[in-house]
Structures are given as structure tokens and as C-alpha cells.
Amino acid sequence: MCLPAIEPGHVWLAGAGPGDPGLLTLLAAKGLAEADVIVHDALVNEECLKLARTGAILEYAGKRGGKPSAKQRDISLRLVELAKAGHRVLRLKGGDPFVFGRGGEEALTLIEHGVPFRIVPGITSGIGGLAYAGIPVTHREVNHAVTFLTGHDSSGVVPDRIDWDAIGRGSPVIVMYMAMKHMGQIAANLIAAGRRPDEPVAFVCNAATADQTVLETTLGRAEADMISAGIEPPAIVVIGEVVRLRPSLDWLGALSGRKLLPDPFAVDRKDTA
């Protein structure tokens, strides 16, 4: 197997996946082993960074809501500066760089300054993180569509360009990134659009790490239960009947002794028979 190498003066924009180092792609792992400088986000698991080659420089460029963070333009220009100095640069992001990861913005800056780059996709937390909680984003008996959205825009408020009525009516499963801060308003928007208050919801915090926790609740109680449980970001939030599959597909729980149910929808079939 022949994989490409990071060349001096090049930047790889890579996804580290949702947490577990085992979910790194072969290319991302190779980038870690070869890069001179690794510019990484807050959501990159420290265990992934241990795969960096000896002597590599690790630069933190994390952005966390409500905390002092580097400006995006400064991060993008830092990548340019490092590449122009002849370094092999790995820009490592949690999840996938093109899924709410601002990878496109950074790539456009590299193009502006004539810096060659490669995109290395990663497993986005909205899929991989939920899989580690035993929640599939699609299931034949539940949904044939899924919507991914962010819970806040660049100014930190609920995005007004999202058509909540259309999503509420048309998307059987909704997966939300960065939604905890505005969970009350989001839930109210969706209930106003026709979603049931008792619709299943799950929060998956620190997904695919040793600190992973899962809170199962309902749309109407999501904000109150979230506060009561004391859970904190980072978290993926999923809304829809797929959450009901967790008692059957919680494979991590099964490794710790949880008995899994063979058919979570058996009662529904009996009721409609």
C-alpha cells in the first residue's frame, strides 16, 4: 500500500474523528507520523496527539464557546506562515474538517496565498459519536433521511437561516452539533413546528472517549434534564425514534455487562398487528 507523504511547504487539513484514536484514518495517522508542525483543535483527543512523530511541534488552536479563543483568520494565516517557512503542516480537527469544522475557510485562505494542501476526511462525530452510543443515524424501520445542523451561528445565537418549520415537518431524525447552549429554544422551535414533546432525544457527551456519557430524554424535557444531569459540552444531540434503538445497540454497554434487547420495536408491531 502506497500512501502519499506530506511534502515540505504543504498543509494537510485532516479530521481526527470523534475521539477514539482507532477511528483515525490511515492518512491522518500518517500525517501525524510525518508532520513537522501539528496545529490542532480543542476537540482532538490527546491520545491521538501521542501518535505525532518525535520532535514534532504541537500548536493549540482550539475554539471553545464562551472561552478565549484564537480568531479564525489568525489560525488560517498561521497555517500559511508555517507552510511558507517550509514546514510539513498537519491541521488536525475533531471529526471531519468539512462538517462544521471550518476546513473550507482555511482551505480558501491557503489558495489565496498559493499554499498547496490536501483534504483528509475524518469520521464526523454526528455519525461516529452516535455509533459509540449505540444510536444509528438511519434505520430502515425508522427513517430514510437525516438532517445535520449546528445549534449556533458565527455570532453564537440560534441560526436564523435554518427553516425550523421545514426541518420539524420533514426530517425524521435530526443530529445537532453545538446545540446545548440553546437547547431550550431549539426544542421550542421544533415543538412549534409539530414535533411531539415526548419524542426521544439523546445527548452524547465526550463521544468515543473514556469519558463518554449518554443522557436519554425527550424533546419536551431535554433542556431541564440536561441541566439536572449537569452534562457539559462537547456533545452531539440526536432527536428521533432512532434513540429507541440504544437498548439494543449499546455495544459499549454490553462489554460492561448490559443485556441488549433483540427487537426494540416488538411492542409497536404487536400494537399494530
Which residues belong to the active site?
41, 63, 178
Residue 39's nearest CA partner among 109, 107, 88 is 88
Alpha-carbon 168 to chain mean position: 21
On whether the CB atoms of residues 142 and 173 are closer than 8 A, the answer is yes
Alpha-carbon 224 to chain mean position: 23
In single-letter form, the type of residue at position 21 comes to P
Residue with cell 429554544: 185
Cell of 66: 464562551
Residue 132's nearest CA partner among 252, 261, 15 is 252
Q: Are strands 89-93 and 11-15 parallel, antiparallel or unpaired?
A: parallel
- Tell me the C-alpha distance between 262 and 273, whole Å: 19
| Strand blocks (E) in the chain | 11-15, 37-40, 57-60, 89-93, 117-120, 147-150, 174-177, 200-205, 213-218, 235-239
